[in-house]
Amino acid sequence: MTMTTLFAALFYLAALLFSVGLIYRIRDYARTPAPLVIPTTPAPRTVGGVAMRMAREVFFFESLFKGNLWTWAFGWLFHVGLALVLLRHLRYFIDPVWDWVIFIQPFGIYAGLVMVAGLAGLWARRIFVDRVRFISTPSDHLMLALIIAIALSGLFMKFVSHTDVIAVKNFFIGLLHFNLQALPSDGILYAHLSMIATLMIIFPFSKLLHAPGLFFSPSRNQADNSRDKRHLSAWAAKLESGK
Amino acid sequence: MAAEIKAPAYRQFSIAPAIQPGSMADTKTFVANEKIQEAIGFPPALVDDWHDRAIAKMGELLSKYRSFKVYMDACVHCGACSDKCHYFIGTADPKNMPVARQDLMRSVYRRYFTIPGKLFPKLVGARDLTREVLDEWYNYFHQCSECRRCSVFCPYGIDTAEITMAAREILNSIGYGQKYSNEIIGKVHKIGNNLGLPGPALTDTLEGLEEDVKEATGIDVRFPIDVKGAEVLLITPSADFFAEPHIDSLIGYAKVFHAAGISWTLSSKASEAGNFGMFIGNYQQLREIAMRVREAALDLGVKRVVVGECGHAWRVAYSFWNTLTGVGSGAADPYAMQLQKQLDHRYKQPMHICEVTWDLIERKVIRLDKEANDKHIITYHDSCNVARGSGMGDVFGGQFDIPRNIIRAAANNYVEMAEGTTREQTFCCGGGGGLLTDDLLDLRVKGALPRMEALHNVTETHGVNFMATICAICKAQFTKVLPYYGFDRRTVGGVHQLVSNAIRLGDK
């Protein structure tokens, strides 16, 4: 029971830090003014066009595709795999499980493999391409190691040593209702869960901020309409009234 | 530094060079002296408490510029930008990779503004701001031309130019400014233009031009200055008044206005389109320099503001002038309305000279004889600030098509350079962003490598002998650098130089 309490506490803490940290960051980005119109042109002239540009960046990594095909391929596979895996894991948090979540279960398994392949490719580039090696910090390697370890421990429980998924589900549903249920005592599961909690905790303090950051990137989210619409930030407007 | 400056060899394949750490570590542009610094309100020399003031300034910029803040956090070190910078391709110094250049700043940001950097600096690549780091900032943030090519390829749109601008703003705020840019900004305020050409000299030059054109064509083409009530105020880089080949484009603009019957004027107050305030990332300078144009437009009572061939000036005019001076449309505030009421909003404000000329060509108001340019086999170099920092016309990518349309209308022989080196992926000339100074000539020669390779290819395959462009810095840079690669310096010229050759003046 002590491990159950420990993990419950860990996940409450991780969820708190993750959400509060992320909300704080997003509010900070949203409140920081963008005084000048700086879209990387040619850029869409309308808000609808900007939404399309952003959607292509979010779903297809358009700029990265132009930049480097290998990085794009590995990165895109990893992110798509991760998205499917996360959706697959919804079954641990909802009851009864939605039909489409049941439908994607088998794909989620392949996605786990694809995700590891993508991460391995990204790591190989970090090690073997001299330019990327030069810019890599220890935390860049550790981040890859952490996510690969999370994926491998998850796949291990799927393919090698099953854990009691019903009990895991009861544990998480219990967490959502502040009603503690026993977590199966399973070393691999402990490893899997503690690494996930770690990832959640470091998210708002690390380069994982690229996820919200993209939406606030002025070179991507601004419309190219500077001659038709006067764009003035609050601090820049003050200079004017001082005149 | 004393070594002879030589062009690097063309690459066999257009792939990134193997990195050579430190190869440009000692390349340091001249530091501004006390007089230059004080003239534009910066501390005269490196202040004693530079460390604390630099960090404080960084904090201020992080709160004022969303771009800077988001770009400090968002990078994942994916390396997509790492082989995109012309200075990296030409020098192989890994700190000239966009991501590594950003990291010079990001490492300090992490140390002072993030929890992991405060707790585990080594782990996340965070560094204290030491004197060595400061010098590294100075050297490498003056090896970036703010061309934004890297931002095209970044999955988060991180624009190294924004970080370079922030770095230069911090350096200036602690008295560690660059001689070249800051001296020029001083001249703009004192004399009215970057080249320090005083009013009377300017008038003389323009009179001389009228005589030259009369001699060559037999026609009285005017070069008016400070004419109240003219329809168009032309704001053009001061290099157009006397530098070669710039002056040939100025003659081209004058002929276009003459042939179309548009009254126009230059301004002695705003005799400069360039705005180096952008290069040093200083909003106040950017605004003050732009304000001269507002004042000139109000004084002269013009209906339209048109900008000559200048890359960064067009970015400032197109993207920033409406913010800075209220010249465009779509404002409700009295300040902007004052100017906007005066201007004719059937036209975009401001307008690029290429937009004006292309519109006149399309409406057949002016006519061009293509044969006049038959000695030229022409290619077009997209200037970075036009390509990636502005637009033209009402259509997506107009900044690429309109200049090309004009060239095709003015000449018979036109050839594109290789894909990946043009349009939004164009390579900087190697001299933009405040680096067009002889103390950085080695860097400028090396930075021109990718463009020279592309030019070399079309000279080999198509016999190209003329590279048109619409930027005063590109023109000056190529004029200087082309000979290092074995080209004639007169290979570069303006789009309106071609228009000037071809336009019908008398019998229209």
Count CA within 13 A, CB hemisphere, residue A38.
28
pLDDT, residue B333, reads 86
- Residues from chain B that touch A146, judged by Cβ atoms under 8 A, are none
Alpha helices in B174-282 (DSSP H): 179-190, 199-217, 246-260, 276-279
Residue B492: strand pairing partners: B467
3-class state of residue B282 by DSSP:
coil
Q: Does B154 touch chain A (CB under 8 A)?
A: yes
Residue A5 forms part of a structural domain: no
Same domain, B242 and B338: yes
Alpha helices in B75-192 (DSSP H): 86-91, 98-113, 115-119, 121-124, 131-140, 149-153, 160-173, 179-190
Q: Does A216 touch chain B (CB under 8 A)?
A: yes
Q: Do B153 and A64 touch (CB under 8 A)?
A: yes
Same domain, B61 and B157: yes
Residue A103 forms part of a structural domain: yes
pLDDT tens across A187-217, in order?
999 999 999 999 999 999 999 999 999 999 9
Is the pLDDT at A131 greater than 80? The verdict is: yes
Residue B26 forms part of a structural domain: no
pLDDT tens across A133-192, in order?
999 999 999 999 999 999 999 999 999 999 999 999 999 999 999 999 999 999 999 999
Cα separation, B123 vs B121, whole angstroms = 6
**Of B65, B100, B156, Cβ closest to residue A210:** B156
- Residues from chain B that touch A224, judged by Cβ atoms under 8 A, are 391
pLDDT, residue B23, reads 96
Residue among B473, B456, B380 nearest B8 (CA): B456
pLDDT in tens, chain B (508 residues): 457 899 999 998 888 999 999 999 999 999 999 999 999 999 999 999 999 999 999 999 999 999 999 999 999 999 999 999 999 999 999 999 999 999 999 999 999 999 999 999 999 999 999 999 999 999 999 999 999 999 999 999 999 999 999 999 999 999 999 999 999 999 999 988 888 888 899 999 999 999 999 999 999 999 999 999 999 999 999 999 989 999 999 999 999 999 999 999 999 999 999 999 999 999 999 999 999 999 999 999 999 999 999 999 999 999 999 999 999 998 888 888 999 999 999 999 999 999 999 999 999 999 999 999 999 999 999 999 999 999 999 899 999 999 999 999 999 999 999 999 999 999 999 999 999 999 999 999 999 999 999 999 999 999 999 999 999 999 999 999 999 999 999 999 999 999 999 999 975 4
Sign of torsion over alpha carbons B194, B200, B206, B208: negative
Neighbours of B211 (CB within 10 A): 9
| Contacting residues for A69 by C-beta, under 8 A, at least 6 apart | none
CATH number of the domain residue B143 falls in: 1.10.1060
pLDDT, residue B151, reads 98
Count CA within 13 A, CB hemisphere, residue B414.
17
Token representation of residue B234? 């032309």
Residue B451 forms part of a structural domain: yes
Cα separation, B322 vs A236, whole angstroms = 12
Same domain, B320 and B212: yes
Same domain, B71 and B162: yes
Cα separation, B167 vs B173, whole angstroms = 10
Q: Do B156 and A214 touch (CB under 8 A)?
A: yes
Residue among B140, B138, B112 nearest B126 (CA): B112
pLDDT, residue A242, reads 57
Neighbours of A16 (CB within 10 A): 12
Same domain, B479 and B372: yes
3-class state of residue B374 by DSSP:
coil
b (16+ CB within 10 A) / e for B377-395: bbbbbbbbbbbbbbbbbee
Same domain, B118 and B266: no
Cα separation, B58 vs B428, whole angstroms = 28
Of the three residues B128, B152, B177, the one that is the final residue of a domain is B177
Residue B304: strand pairing partners: B232
Residue type, A45: R
Residue A19 forms part of a structural domain: no
Domain that holds residue A187: 39-225
| 8 Å CB contact between B478 and B466 | no
b (16+ CB within 10 A) / e for B220-235: ebbbbbbbeebbbbbb
pLDDT, residue B299, reads 95
**Of A218, A235, A239, Cβ closest to residue B67:** A218
pLDDT, residue B508, reads 45
| 8 Å CB contact between B94 and A117 | no
Residue A239 forms part of a structural domain: no
Q: Do B319 and A235 touch (CB under 8 A)?
A: no
Of the three residues B322, B357, B392, the one that is the final residue of a domain is B357
Q: Does A177 touch chain B (CB under 8 A)?
A: no
Residue type, B85: C
Residue B182 forms part of a structural domain: no
Same domain, B381 and B490: yes
Q: Does B393 touch chain A (CB under 8 A)?
A: no
Q: Are strands B304-307 and B232-235 parallel, antiparallel or unpaired?
A: parallel
Cα separation, B474 vs B471, whole angstroms = 5
Disruptive mutation site among A202, A221, A230 for chain B (greatest number of B CBs within 10 Å): A230
Q: Does A235 touch chain B (CB under 8 A)?
A: yes
Q: What stretch of H or E contains B456?
A: helix B449-462
Q: Are strands B232-235 and B466-469 parallel, antiparallel or unpaired?
A: unpaired
Cα separation, B246 vs B254, whole angstroms = 13
Same domain, B58 and B142: yes
Q: What stretch of H or E contains B469?
A: strand B466-469
Token representation of residue A101? 């979540």
CATH number of the domain residue B382 falls in: 3.40.50
Same domain, B428 and B494: yes
pLDDT, residue B2, reads 53
Phi, psi of B232 (to 5 degrees): -110, 130
Same domain, B398 and B333: no
The torsion region of residue B438 among left (phi > 0), alpha (psi -120 to 50) and beta comes to alpha
Token representation of residue A235? 């601090």
3-class state of residue A174 by DSSP:
helix
Strand segments (E) across B228-319: 232-235, 264-265, 304-307
Cα separation, A107 vs A167, whole angstroms = 23
| Contacting residues for B110 by C-beta, under 8 A, at least 6 apart | B116, B117, B121, B124, B125, B126
- Residues from chain A that touch B155, judged by Cβ atoms under 8 A, are 57, 61, 63-64, 67, 75, 210, 214
ipTM, two decimals, is: 0.95
Residue A33 forms part of a structural domain: no
pLDDT, residue B12, reads 85
| 8 Å CB contact between A213 and A135 | no
Cα separation, A34 vs A232, whole angstroms = 9
Return residues 131-160 of A near B (CB < 8 Å). 131-132, 134-140, 142
Is the pLDDT at A43 greater than 70? The verdict is: yes
Token representation of residue B507? 């019998």
Q: Does A127 touch chain B (CB under 8 A)?
A: no
Residue B265: strand pairing partners: B233
pLDDT, residue A1, reads 64
Residue B432 forms part of a structural domain: yes
**Of B81, B326, B424, Cβ closest to residue A42:** B424
Same domain, B145 and B217: no
**Of A33, A43, A226, Cβ closest to residue B66:** A33
pLDDT, residue B14, reads 81
Residue among A94, A7, A132 nearest B78 (CA): A132
Residue with tokens 């400056």: B5
Residue A34 forms part of a structural domain: no
Same domain, B160 and B258: no
Percent with pLDDT over 70 in chain A: 99
CATH number of the domain residue A101 falls in: 1.20.950.20
Tally of domains within chain A: 1
Q: Do A63 and B330 touch (CB under 8 A)?
A: no
Domain that holds residue B350: 189-357
Cα separation, B233 vs A26, whole angstroms = 44
Cα separation, B434 vs B179, whole angstroms = 10
Token representation of residue B378? 């022409």
Of chain B, the end-to-end C-alpha distance in Å amounts to 56
Cα separation, A184 vs B268, whole angstroms = 82
Between A and B, how many CB-CB pairs are < 8 A?
231
Cα separation, B280 vs B236, whole angstroms = 20
The torsion region of residue B45 among left (phi > 0), alpha (psi -120 to 50) and beta comes to beta
Tally of domains within chain B: 3
